[in-house]
Structure 1
Amino acid sequence: MAQPQGNEQPDVFTRFTTATARVLGHAWVFSAAVAVLVAWALTGPLLAFSDTWQLVINTGTTIVTFLMVFIIQNTQNRDTAALHLKLDALMLELKVSNAKLYDAENEGEKEIERQRARIARAADAGPSEGV
C-alpha cells in the first residue's frame, strides 16, 4: 500500500474510526458478541427474565448500534471518496472526455441510468465507440 505523499496526518476522528472499524471487522469480535448474548440468555432464568434483565440487552445493543452507525458511515464515506479519486485518475489517464462521468456520483438516478445505458450500448457496439 502506498504511503501518503504529504506530512499531513488524518484527524483524530478519522484515525479513531479507521482503527475501530478495523478491529470490529474481525471474526473474534463477532464471536465475543455472540458470547455476550449467550451469557445474557443464560442469566435469564437466574434473574427470572425480569424487566431489568431485558433492559440490559436492549440498552447495550441500542448504544452499540447508535455509535456504530457513525463509525460505519465515516469509513464508508472515506472509502467511497478514495474510490472516486482513483477512478477519476484512471479516467484522466485513459483520456475519458465525458465530463458527466467525472461527476456521476452527484447526478440523479435517471441521469446515472441514462449514462449506464449509453455506456452499455457503446460496449455492445465494440471498441470503435468511445466513452
Structure 2
Amino acid sequence: MSKMFEAVAQWAGHRAGCASTFLGALALILVWMLSGPFFGFSDTWQLIINTSTTIVTFLMVFLMQNTQNRDTRALQLKLDELIRATQGAEDRMISLEDSTEEQLDVVKRRFDTLRDSAPGAR
C-alpha cells in the first residue's frame, strides 16, 4: 500500500505542477461559470464547485506534504554527503535533523558563540 501511495503521490505531484493541469482546472471553472445561467445559479450549482474545490484542496495537502517530505529528505542526505566529504567539517552534524529540540538548542548556542567570537562579529 505504501509503495502504491508513493507512486501515485509522485505522479500526481509532478502533474499538479504542470501548466496543462492548471489550464485544465481553469477550463473546468470556466465551464462551471458558463453553466450558471442554465442551472439558474442555484444552490446545487454553487455546492458543486464548493464541494469539488474542497475535496481537491484536502487531497492536495497530503500530496504536497508527501512531496515536501521526500524533497527535504533528499536535501538532508545531500547535505550529509557534503559534510562527510568536507575535510574539517564536524561529522556530528550529519543527520542533525533527527536530533531532539534540546540537542538542536545546544548546537545553536554553540554556533551563536562561534559567530559572536568571530573577527568582525557584531
TM-score by length of 2: 0.77
Of 11, 16, 19, 2:8 maps to: 16
Of 69, 73, 95, 1:77 maps to: 69
What RMSD over aligned residues (CA atoms) do the two structures have, in Å? 2.9
Bigger mean CA offset, 89-98 vs 46-55: 89-98
**Correspondence 1:26 to 2:18:** yes
Deviation per CA, 1:8-38, whole angstroms, max 9, x where unpaired?
Answer: xx82211111111111211011011111111
In the alignment, what sits opposite 2:48? Answer: 56
In the alignment, what sits opposite 1:97? Answer: 90
> What are the ranges of 5 or more consecutive residues in structure 1 without an aligned counterpart?
1-9, 127-131
Sequence identity, in percent? 42
In the alignment, what sits opposite 1:129? Answer: none
Q: Which has the higher contact order (CA 8 A, sep 6+)?
A: 1
- How far 1:99 sits from its partner (Å)? 2.4
- Number of residue-to-residue matches in the alignment: 115
TM-score by length of 1: 0.72
8 Å contact from structure 2 (residues 83, 93) kept in 1? no
